[in-house]
Structures are given as structure tokens and as C-alpha cells.
A and B are shown apart, each in its own frame.
Chain A
Amino acid sequence: MRKTIRFIRKGRMVELSSVEPTAMLLDYLRDIEGCKGTKEGCREGDCGACTVAVGRLRDHRLVYEPVNACIQLVGQIDGCEIVTVEDLAEDDGHLHPVQQAVVDQHASQCGFCTPGFVMSLFTLFHATKGPVTRDEVNDWIAGNLCRCTGYRPIVDAAIEASGQPRRDRFAANSGDTAGLLSFLADSDDVFIGDDDRFIAAPASVDSLAALYERHPDATIVSGATDVGLWITKQMRDLPKIILTGRARGFDHIADTGYELMIGAGATYARIEPHLRALDPDLGELLRRLGSKQVRATGTMGGNVANGSPIGDTPPLLIALDATLELRKGKQERSIPVETYFIDYGKQDRERGELVTGILIPKLAPNQIFRCYKVSKRFDQDISSVMGAFRLTVGEDGSITEARIAFGGMAATPRRAKRAEHALTGAQLRDSRAWARAFGALREDFAPISDHRASARYRVETAHALLGKALIEAAGTASSRTRINGVREVV
């Protein structure tokens, strides 16, 4: 048992013995270290002004990922290196290549978002080898908001910097850093506090499950991209926090050939390539989920476990007929993802029971998959409506099975069973069956109006998405049906 949090700052190990369960990394940096370069813009992980780089070993390689410090618990950084904007320039004052590019391109105006952008660009610099494209940059900085520049010079700065060799003090020290990180990666459970108030980071899934069974009132935290806001915005006091990030194997991803096994602790960033290989729409959906910062820490397990009606992954998982694995103490069980969501705020999860993994069957050759997300802003927004469709087509061209799931249409992510029924058995190109399905879809859902969309728009859009899926499944190129996210190489 270890009673400290350890991490690397400026080449040295920092060890904290007194850590409040809800202490945030941003406050640690600004108020304890006095490093004021990292800014607070929104305190909810949506603007990126607080972006810092987190260094970790992945497959024995040092990688830097951008993270929103404002909703990152101090406990979560155990075993990592934290790099902030103050650390980048050389000791003689020479700017880092990404900083110099930002200056050269006139890419700062008020400058308040700039440290966050610099850190995102720093992680991009280290994650790539040669020149990057505008699209890659856009994706990388989707979680950084700038209100002054209109972004063009920032993108140009990223492109300029990417033409430079990846030489900086971090590359030079990467051996030492990797050594330190290996040293920090011990197999001790971390527990700070007492039975009434603690933050814990068990080192194995067994001790994680055991601790949660003992403290079923604790809050399980993987990425904190949602729980972080309970603390910073709802001002909730969460006296017992159990972090999943150190539990060995909890983030395991395995490909069995016919299905993907995704450990509940796997981040979106790591899941993305696997899902993209399943279907390009899945890859694009994951790319649009949150931002680089959110995907670096957020997990699919957490997205499902929280049971949000507007989470982006549950409709996919339901349409794909995925299975959820749960564990309480030593007891394990599996259920279809779709039955997990009982009602708004109510899931099929017992007190003290953990979501441990998700099994996603791969698509058969005779299955067509589509998913679409509609939101006010294209990147880094929450869906107004999200639809996922898996059609199994028989040799005779008829639909033998239709699985259709929507988010944003009800209190839980849910299947459109009447619409599925209307399509099942029909020929894929049978426009009368389509019409029946559109009609049935109106019976399937009675959505609400809120600030994202009206009930009417939601109904209309669900219809449109089903229509798109059918048109594309029937052979129309997505370049004719989509503004973004075209599947075919054109």
C-alpha cells in the first residue's frame, strides 16, 4: 500500500502525501506550484485553456497526450509526467519550435487561450514525425477554443512547426524520463485518507473490485471527463473516490477475430483505431466524440456506466448488439448493452458493481453499418440526435435483421423496434417498406424539447438519419448524402 501520489515535474519526481479526493490538477499547478501559465477558461473541459501534456509509457514508448487540467484529479496523474507551458522554452529563453511558430504566424491575440494551444501543439509535435495536414491539426485542436484569431494562423503555426525535426529537451531527455516513469509504475495499491474520506488507485482489477464492494458509496472515476464537472460545477462533495487508471488490465483491448473486447478503462484515444477498422463511421464518430483532450482520458466504459441519455457510444453499442461485462467483488455477469439502460438515471448496475468491459461483435460481410451524429457544431459538441444502424441483408436482398438505435430521442439510448420490425423481411430497396419504417419510427419515440433541439426537429432528424442509412445501404455514395465524413475515397 502506498499513501502518496507520485509524478514527474521538470525532470524530478514529486510526491504528495496529502491529497484531497477532489483536488484538481489545475489548482495544484496554479495555487500550489504557482505556475500561472496554465489558464482556467471554463472549468469543465470544453475550452482547452488549461491544457497540459501528460507523459506516459505506452508499449515502452514515451507518449505525450493533451489533458484538460481543470477536470483532472490530482490522483489521476499518479505515475505520469506533467508538462506545462512554462517548461517548453530552453533555459536560455529560446522558444520551443511550436512556440516560435505561434509567434511567427501571429497566432495569438489576447493570448489567454495560447498556453493551451501551445500544449496541444506540443503533443501534436511529439505524436507525429513529418508534416501534418490541416485536417489533422483541426482534429487535434478541436478541444481548444480561441475567440480572437479565427484559428487560421494557429493551424498554420502547427503546420510550420511540423516541418521541424522533433528535437527538444523532451526528446533529448526521453530516456531518463522513461526510466523514471518505469520506476513509478509500481504494483502497490494507492490509498490516501481514511475509510470516510479517501482517494484510492488500486493496482489490480481484483483490488479495485474488492475496494468498491467494501465502499459501494464511492465514486468510480476513470477519465473524470464527466465526474470532474460534478465537482467543479455542481460543487458536489465526493468524499470517496476510486480511480481505475492504475488497475492493470482494466484498459485491455483484445481482438478475438470475431469480436472486440474493450476493457472499461480503455480511453477513446486507444479504442478509436480499433473501431475505425470495424467501420469508418465508427472511427469518425469516435473522432467527433469530445476532443483530443477528452478522448485522452475519457473511456467508453465510463460513457456507458454513467447512463447518460445523450452519450454517443451507447447507440452504437446497442446497434452492434454489444455485451456489457460487470463485476461485483468476485461475482461477474454479462448483459446486452441495451438492457443496461432502464430509465433516466437508472441502470442495471448494483451497488458496488463495476462495469469491467464491453464486447463488440464485428460486422459480418452481409451486414451494413451506418451511424450519424447531428449537433449544432460539427466538432466537439453533444448530439442533438445520434442514430446507429446495422442491417443484415440476405442473399435474396432482403433485410433479415435490422438493429436501429438512437440517442437524444428518449430518456435512455434506445432501439427503434417498430421501425426495425417494418424493415425486417423487406427488400433493401423496397421504398414502401422504407415508408412503413419512417411511419413506425414516429411511433417509436416521443422526444422532448430542450436547448439542443425541439422535439419536432428530433423526430424529423431521426427520420432523416434512417433515410440516409437506407439510401446509402441501397447504394448511393455517401458523397451525395453527407457534407462531412464521406466514407468512400473520392
Chain B
Amino acid sequence: MDAGDPTHEDKPLAVVRQPKAHDSAAKHTTGEAVYVDDMLEPSGTLHAAPGYAPIAAGRATRMDLDAVRKARGVVAVLTAGDIPGVNDISPKQIGDDPAITPDKIMFHGQVLFVVLAETRDQARRATKLARIATAPAMPLIDVDDALVAENHVHDDYGFLRGEPADEISRSPRDVTGEFRMGGQEHFYLEGQVALAVPGEDGDILVHSSTQHPSEVQHTVAHVLGLHSNQVTVECRRMGGGFGGKESQATQWAVLAALGAFKTGRPVKLRLDRDDDMAMTGKRHDFRVDYRAGFGKDGMLRAVDVTFSARCGYSEDLSLGVVDRTAFHADGAYFYPACRIVTRRMRTNTVSNTAFRGFGGPQGKLFAERMMDHIAYAIGRDPLDVRKANIYGGVGRDRTPYGMRVEDNILPEIIADLERSSDYWGRRREIAEFNAASPVLKRGIALTPVKFGISFTLIHLNQAGALVHVYRDGSISLNHGGTEMGQGLYVKVAQVVAEEFGVGLEMVKITPTSTAKVPNTGPTAASAGTDLNAQAALAACRAIKERLYAFIQETYGAGREQVKFRDGQVLIGNQAMTFGALVDQAYLGRVSLSSTGFYRTPKIHWDRAKANGRPFFYFAYGAACSEVTIDTMTGEMKVNRVDILHDVGKSLNPAIDRGQIEGGFVQGMGWLTTEQLVWDSTGRLQTHAPSTYKIPTSSDVPADFRVTLYESGGNREDSIYRSKAVGEPPVMLAISVFSAITDAIASLKPAVMPRLDAPATPEAIMRAIRATTGGDG
């Protein structure tokens, strides 16, 4: 079996491992790739626009919507009372997230009503005509407000090992710190959008830009009081997701479906960018408080850390997101004793949600800051401190949640990168530069990544696929994963083409649809390929089993005499095209269609006992970044970045490199220029690209060296021994943040710069003041 052995492949691969272009690459460049808003609208399509709460907390005491109803083009105005089923869109169906709030207002931007009009412009304009009387309450805006008010969306959770408090007090050295890290807007280029088309018997077809069609399906059914079999959700592609369309595409699909249900006409809802940014959740921002005890060499003895996350007004996915923060609070380091506490704070802001890394980057940022803190406290190079604490060695392989780290390749990766990036040579050059440069200071950092792969909600680690082979040998592929640009579709198609020994052009990729593959999980947790390619492979093999049996019966040849290669089927000395074989099989009444199913092996997790093996494996990588800062203004520039990242044995190195580079730059944005600002009334001030700054081309260093680690392959039996790559590269960008810290630290020995994320020019100036002995 070719996908089974990590070290050698028993036949040369023709399609898998090739740097195939994204399946839609050419269509992207010509504008022919169709997104939901580009679909031909059925005649009579109405356009929906939400009207939203003008305050962050309190009640809407009276809504006068007469002028809205009378406005030009308006066909209907929907309020909570129009919902026939259950008014809840929360992923766990726990009732804390109304599709349209009846009157209680939990954040500025919460949907109060929905206008349906003949044109989108009419619908948007009409929303402004509502007169809403409110009884405002005092909003809780940030984590500190919520901590004082003790308002949580869920119980605290964490891990305890040993007696960290005692250990810290017994340690030769210790540090205490606190810092903040901001959230992050997804800024998918295609905003939230759905088109709902009513059918007969009350059925509804919803085209939704969603990472989770099944959840949209179930929620639409729930809200409309339908059975799930009456609702079909389709998604051909998204214009970016990044977690922002995992749970939070649902509301817009539900509202479009509600409009269609009420009017009997197709309804499209596409959020305006500013509304999208105000009304949809973001990466969780955190306050982190920590203490660490360690030896004079910087070796950790104990860690005590508390993460307080701003979850927003409802739970959404915060349970799992903040759990993942706890899972990654160890970074890549062994904590002999530790207490890791995570707190999920409820605020009157938009409900924070999944974002590439799903809480992991926040945990990891803490671990790297703690390493920096220890290093500056004892005057050792941060890289030495990192290496000293990395997992490995006798009795140093167990995570705070009990899982053993069995596949750690970080020592090799770090050693390679240390050499290839000339870390130590540049460390010396930088010291010389800084000594002679009063205004500009440079810094460098090399940080590792270790990221756990699998959903920690274990039941999500399953996937289905549906493969049809037609009589001409062409293949139709469907699975539960969604395409948001990450190249999932082409990777799965490569696996299918390889399996049947045909060219990629023979595999037709079809839109994800709940009518084809049911009860799917979200495309998330970096696991899209791991799960769906395995499911598709299972479907292919089921069909192949039947073909082998047919060949045995017809040609008397056993499977060891059969090869599927180059579009041919070789049976002993005979050759025929794949199409000829399957046509014969069809005439022989062999089914050429199969479902496939996959469930990730080995994993189990008992959350209550905080024990188990939540991850199938870990993905690893490391980055070395160098920056220059301007100590007068706080401006910063990234000079050079070297990345060495482990994707196992790659299914598609071009796609994987794209994920690494894109993830790195996105993570760099999170930690540098992307700043979310709410005012004291709870109104988001940064709700458009004019005020919220994601990286642009010139922010990417000209010297950007990205290498795939030459891996022997995933030690676990993953698809073709590849590794997941969607999320881990985001955390490579922590090297930029640490390099900025390093540049500031050059101003004064033995002081840990108090730098909050994002490291905007202003944050850098604040850290410089705090470091050089001014105030903070």
C-alpha cells in the first residue's frame, strides 16, 4: 500500500507530490471563477440588508420601522417575530445567539431587523430609516471590564501538573509578567454572502460562502422549523475564509433563507464590508498574566499562566478556541510543573470566533514571550534558552495535557535553520550595528512552531466523500471539505487521479453539497486534506476493489497483475484505457460509484480529566526574522525572514509553499499592523481597510527564504505521509514579534521590553519608554 510506508514509495507517483496549479488558477485570472455574488440571479431575486443595534448593551424599547417599510423598493421587513422555528444560530444550539435579536442588545451591530428590497442599494438605504428607541446599559468592552464584572461565557479550564507555585518559589530565578495581544479581523476579500432559492414543499437551496455547509444546513432547518432533508447547502468556493466562515457564515445564510421562506422569492444577502467587520467575530484578543521559575541557565522549573480571552457576547466557538490556547501554551517547550488557566470572558462586543490557528497562536505567543523574558533576565541569548527548554530527553516529552511528544523533529529543524540563516553571524553583526547606530536598532529572533493536528472536539475528526466513475473513464469527485483558496480541492483530486492512474484533467471537482455528502464537519483545524483525501481514497479503493474482482472474473488476473497507470489499465500483458475497462465493468453490471469514509485513528480526549491524546500528530517549523526599528517614531521594517517548515512528504509543494508564505504574512499582520480599536461605547472604530491595515506587498521582506523541510514523512499514517499546513505557518510570524522585542532590548541590558501586540509604531514607542526607564 503506497500511502502506508513512511520511507519509501513502491511505485513512482505521477500526480501526487507534483506542484500542480490550483484547480481554478486560470479561472481566477480571467474572472471566470464564480463566487456566490457572481452567480446568475434567478429572476425575482430580492436583496437583503440587516439593520443593526446602535448601542452595545441594553434593550431596544421600540422599533419604528414604518419608514423602512415604505421606502422605495422595499418588499418586506423581517424581525425576530417572523422566525417560524428556533431563533438561535449558535453552533452548539445553546440559545445564546439569536439570528435576529428580539429586543435585548448584546453588542453594537447586532441584527435587529432585515430589509428585503428589489435592489441591494434600496435595501441598504432603507435600513437607515429605522427609528429605534433604546434603553442603554453599561457595556463591558474589554477583558478587564469583564474580569471585574466576573462575566464569563463558559467555565475556566486548564491543566495542572505538580505544584507550580511552590516550584517557582523554590527556583533560583523567577520572572513575572503581563501582556496583551490584540485580536484580528479575517479580512477575507470576499465578504459574507448567501443566496437562498426556495423550491417546492418548502425546500430551500442555499448557496453559501461557508466553511461548514452542514452547520448552515442544520441551522437553517432549525430556524425555519424544517427537517434537514429539506435544506441543501452548496459551496463551490469561498473568496477566503480563515475561520471567519466556520460558524459565522451561518447567520447570513439563515437570514437569506428566512427571507426566501417568507416571500417565496430568491433572496441574496451580501454584507457591506464595513457591516461585515462590525457584525462578525474576530480572533480572540487576550490578556496574559504569568510567572515562571527557572534555573540560572534558563531551564524552566515551573510555569503559572492565566489567559483571559475576550469572547464577545456569546459562546460561539470560544470553548474550543480557548482550549487550543491551553493546548499550545507550552509552545514547543517542556514544563516540568505548570498551571495553565484559561478564562472565557463575556463582553458586549461581537462574538469572537475561529481564526487560522484557533487560539493556538495566542498560547504560543505567550510561550515565546516567556522564553524572551527568561533570556533577557539572565543575559543569555534567547535562542539558547529556547533550545534548552525544547521537548526531548529523558522524562521531558510529556505535554501538560498528558500526551507524549513522540515525533519531535524541532532540534533538527532548528539546527538546520540556525545554520542556513547564519543566526550567530548575524547576531554579531547586529550587535555591531546597534553599537554604532543611535536611532535605528536591529533585532533578530529564531522561534519554533509545534502545532497539534486534529479537532480537539473528537467527533469532528470524520469525513465523507463521493466518487463516481463514468463510462468514459471520467471521474466526478465530491467530498465534505470546502475550498477557500487553500488548494484542498486540487490536493484531493491529485489523490484520486493517482489512485486510478489517470491524469488530473480526468477528475472533475464538484461543489461541496450537503445533498452529496452529509453530516460533514467544518473545513478547519488544518485537517481538510488529512480527512477528505482519506475519505476520497476510501471511495476510490471501494470502486477499485470491484474492478479488481471484475478483472479477476473476466481476465482471470489477480490484483498483483493489474496496474492503473498513465490513463491505462495494465492486466498482465494486456493494456486498455481506463475508460475501456470501466465501460466493460459497466456492461458487466459493476457499480462505479462509491462513498468513502474516514475517521482519524488513535485520538481520544477526556476534557473533564484533561487527559488523552487529542492530536494525531504535530506539525513543526521554525522561522528566523530580522527587523529594524526606528527608536524615535517606533516604525519597524522586516529585513529578512528565513523559514524552514515541515509538511511531511508534501502532496503538492507549490500549494504548501503558498500556505506557508501566506500564513506567515497573515500572522505578521496580526502581530504588527492589524489593530482593532473599540471606543468606550463599544463601537468598532476600525471597520474598513482604510482604518484596519492588513499587510500590503511592501511589508513582505524582499529577502524571504522559504524552504520545505526535507522530511522522511509523517510518522503517522496520514495521506501519503503528508502533514497539515493550513494553520501552523501563522505562528512562524512570532519570530517577527520576538525580533522587535530583541531590537528594543538592545537599548538596555537585562530588561524585558514590555511590548503588547500588535507592535504598531505606537506600541513599540511605549515599549521603548518602558524599557529605557521612562514609564510604560
State the A residues within 8 Å of B (CB). 27, 35-44, 46-47, 49, 84-86, 88-89, 95, 98-100, 102-103, 106, 108-115, 118, 134-135, 137-139, 141-142, 144-155, 233, 235, 372, 374-382, 384, 450-454, 457, 460-461, 464-465, 467-468, 471, 480-484
Question: B38 to A110, Cβ gap below 8 A?
Answer: no
Smallest beta-carbon distance B18→chain A, Å: 12
| B578 on interface, CB distance cutoff 8 Å | no
Q: Give 7 closest A-B pairs by Cβ, nearest first.
A: A37-B31, A110-B485, A112-B239, A111-B28, A150-B665, A109-B485, A46-B689
| B440 on interface, CB distance cutoff 8 Å | yes
Question: A142 to B633, Cβ gap below 8 A?
Answer: no
State the main secondary structure of chain A at its contact with B.
Answer: loop
Give Cα distance in the complex from A144 to B697, angstroms.
8
| B77 on interface, CB distance cutoff 8 Å | no
| B605 on interface, CB distance cutoff 8 Å | no
Question: B30 to A86, Cβ gap below 8 A?
Answer: yes
Q: Can you report 5 A-B residue pairs in the complex whose CB atoms are below 8 A from each other? A: A36-B34, A86-B31, A110-B239, A464-B632, A468-B632
Residue numbers in A under 8 Å from B191 (CB-CB) = 41
| Nearest B residue to A34, CB-CB | B40
Contact A41:B189 (CB < 8 A) given known A109-B485, A384-B761, A481-B440: yes
Besides the known contacts A37-B31, A151-B697, A451-B675, 10 further A-B residue pairs in the complex with CB atoms under 8 A apart: A36-B37, A38-B31, A95-B26, A110-B484, A111-B239, A145-B187, A145-B189, A147-B240, A379-B698, A484-B635
Give Cα distance in the complex from A43 to B688, angstroms.
10
Tell me which of A150, A375, A377, A467 has the highest count of chain B C-beta atoms within 10 A of its own C-beta: A150
Number of interface residues of B (CB under 8 A): 87
Q: Could you say which of A153, A377, A382 contacts B673, with CB atoms under 8 Å apart?
A: A377
Q: Could you say which of A35, A102, A148, A468 contacts B29, with CB atoms under 8 Å apart?
A: A102
Smallest beta-carbon distance A218→chain B, Å: 21
Q: Could you say which of A40, A106, A139 contacts B698, with CB atoms under 8 Å apart?
A: A139
Q: Could you say which of A42, A85, A88, A235 contacts B273, with CB atoms under 8 Å apart?
A: A42
Give Cα distance in the complex from A138 to B702, angstroms.
10
Residue numbers in A under 8 Å from B25 (CB-CB) = 102-103, 106, 108, 111
Give Cα distance in the complex from A99 to B664, angstroms.
25
Residue numbers in B under 8 Å from A86 (CB-CB) = 30-32
Question: B655 to A106, Cβ gap below 8 A?
Answer: yes
Question: B661 to A150, Cβ gap below 8 A?
Answer: yes
Give Cα distance in the complex from A269 to B25, angstroms.
32
Smallest beta-carbon distance A287→chain B, Å: 10
Question: B658 to A153, Cβ gap below 8 A?
Answer: yes
Tell me which of B186, B486, B665, B696 has the highest count of chain A C-beta atoms within 10 A of its own C-beta: B696
| B238 on interface, CB distance cutoff 8 Å | yes
Contact A451:B693 (CB < 8 A) given known A39-B35, A114-B28: no
Question: B666 to A150, Cβ gap below 8 A?
Answer: yes
Contact A40:B37 (CB < 8 A) given known A106-B654, A235-B125: yes
| B274 on interface, CB distance cutoff 8 Å | yes
Residue numbers in B under 8 Å from A461 (CB-CB) = 633-634, 761, 765
Give Cα distance in the complex from A468 to B661, angstroms.
35
Give Cα distance in the complex from A240 to B475, angstroms.
58
State the main secondary structure of chain B at its contact with A.
Answer: loop
Question: A111 to B27, Cβ gap below 8 A?
Answer: yes
Residue numbers in A under 8 Å from B237 (CB-CB) = 110-111
Residue numbers in A under 8 Å from B487 (CB-CB) = 109
Work out how many contacts link A and B, with CB atoms closer than 8 A.
253
Residue numbers in B under 8 Å from A115 (CB-CB) = 28-29, 31
Question: B696 to A377, Cβ gap below 8 A?
Answer: yes
Question: A108 to B242, Cβ gap below 8 A?
Answer: no
Question: B765 to A460, Cβ gap below 8 A?
Answer: yes
Give Cα distance in the complex from A377 to B120, angstroms.
33
8 A Cβ contacts from B444-475 to A? none
Give Cα distance in the complex from A111 to B24, angstroms.
8
Residue numbers in A under 8 Å from B665 (CB-CB) = 149-151
Contact A39:B190 (CB < 8 A) given known A142-B696, A457-B765, A483-B636: yes
| B690 on interface, CB distance cutoff 8 Å | yes
Residue-by-residue, is B652-681 near A (CB-CB < 8 Å gives 1, otherwise 0)? Answer: 001101100111111000000101010000
Tell me which of B240, B241, B685, B697 has the highest count of chain A C-beta atoms within 10 A of its own C-beta: B697
Residue numbers in B under 8 Å from A137 (CB-CB) = 697
Residue numbers in B under 8 Å from A84 (CB-CB) = 31
Residue numbers in B under 8 Å from A154 (CB-CB) = 697
| Nearest A residue to B127, CB-CB | A235
| Nearest B residue to A151, CB-CB | B697
Question: A106 to B632, Cβ gap below 8 A?
Answer: no
Smallest beta-carbon distance A166→chain B, Å: 18
Residue numbers in B under 8 Å from A47 (CB-CB) = 189, 273, 689
Smallest beta-carbon distance B634→chain A, Å: 8
Smallest beta-carbon distance B771→chain A, Å: 15
Question: B688 to A481, Cβ gap below 8 A?
Answer: no
Give Cα distance in the complex from A118 to B761, angstroms.
32
Contact A483:B658 (CB < 8 A) given known A35-B31, A112-B240, A451-B686: no
Question: A44 to B484, Cβ gap below 8 A?
Answer: no
Tell me which of A40, A49, A151 has the highest count of chain B C-beta atoms within 10 A of its own C-beta: A151
Give Cα distance in the complex from A37 to B239, angstroms.
13
| Nearest B residue to A41, CB-CB | B189
| Nearest B residue to A46, CB-CB | B689
Q: Could you say which of A150, A376, A467 contacts B632, with CB atoms under 8 Å apart?
A: A467
Residue numbers in B under 8 Å from A146 (CB-CB) = 189
Residue numbers in B under 8 Å from A464 (CB-CB) = 632-633
| B128 on interface, CB distance cutoff 8 Å | yes
Smallest beta-carbon distance B623→chain A, Å: 13
8 A Cβ contacts from B733-774 to A? 760-762, 765-766
Question: A451 to B691, Cβ gap below 8 A?
Answer: yes
Residue numbers in B under 8 Å from A42 (CB-CB) = 273, 688-689
Residue numbers in B under 8 Å from A452 (CB-CB) = 691
8 A Cβ contacts from B1-32 to A? 19, 21-22, 24-32
Residue numbers in A under 8 Å from B128 (CB-CB) = 235
Residue numbers in B under 8 Å from A465 (CB-CB) = 633
Question: A145 to B689, Cβ gap below 8 A?
Answer: yes
Question: B698 to A138, Cβ gap below 8 A?
Answer: yes
Smallest beta-carbon distance A411→chain B, Å: 18
Residue numbers in B under 8 Å from A384 (CB-CB) = 761-762
Residue numbers in A under 8 Å from B33 (CB-CB) = 111
Question: A152 to B632, Cβ gap below 8 A?
Answer: no
